[in-house]
Amino acid sequence: MTCMPTEDVEFHDAIKEVFRRYPEAQGKYALSSLALENRMKIDFSEKVGVSRVDGDSIITEFKDRESVVRARICLKWNFDYTECLHWEELLE
């Protein structure tokens, strides 16, 4: 595959080993890069991604952490699961 990461090779190899050990997780989880959020200079201590499905698109907006969202589920956690980085708004 020509798009395989060339940075952090040991880290990616360790993640692949975890997926090999837990094959049932392969269809539920994926490793995600924060490259786009870093390019946008998103400060996750102040903002959180909030997504919704619109047809065949996923729309993500970055909102103030303090804003009120009625129903949501965390999609992306930081590395030690202490802070949600990305929410999905749930339908009422």
Q: What is the pLDDT of residues 65-75, one digit of tens each?
A: 877 566 778 88
Strands 84-89 and 47-54: parallel
By percentage, how much of the chain surpasses pLDDT 90? 26
- Burial class of 12 by CB neighbour count within 10 A (0 to 12, 13 to 18, 19+): middle
C-alpha 57/C-alpha 6 separation (Å) is 29
Residue 1 has what pLDDT?
41
C-alpha 15/C-alpha 20 separation (Å) is 9
pTM: 0.68
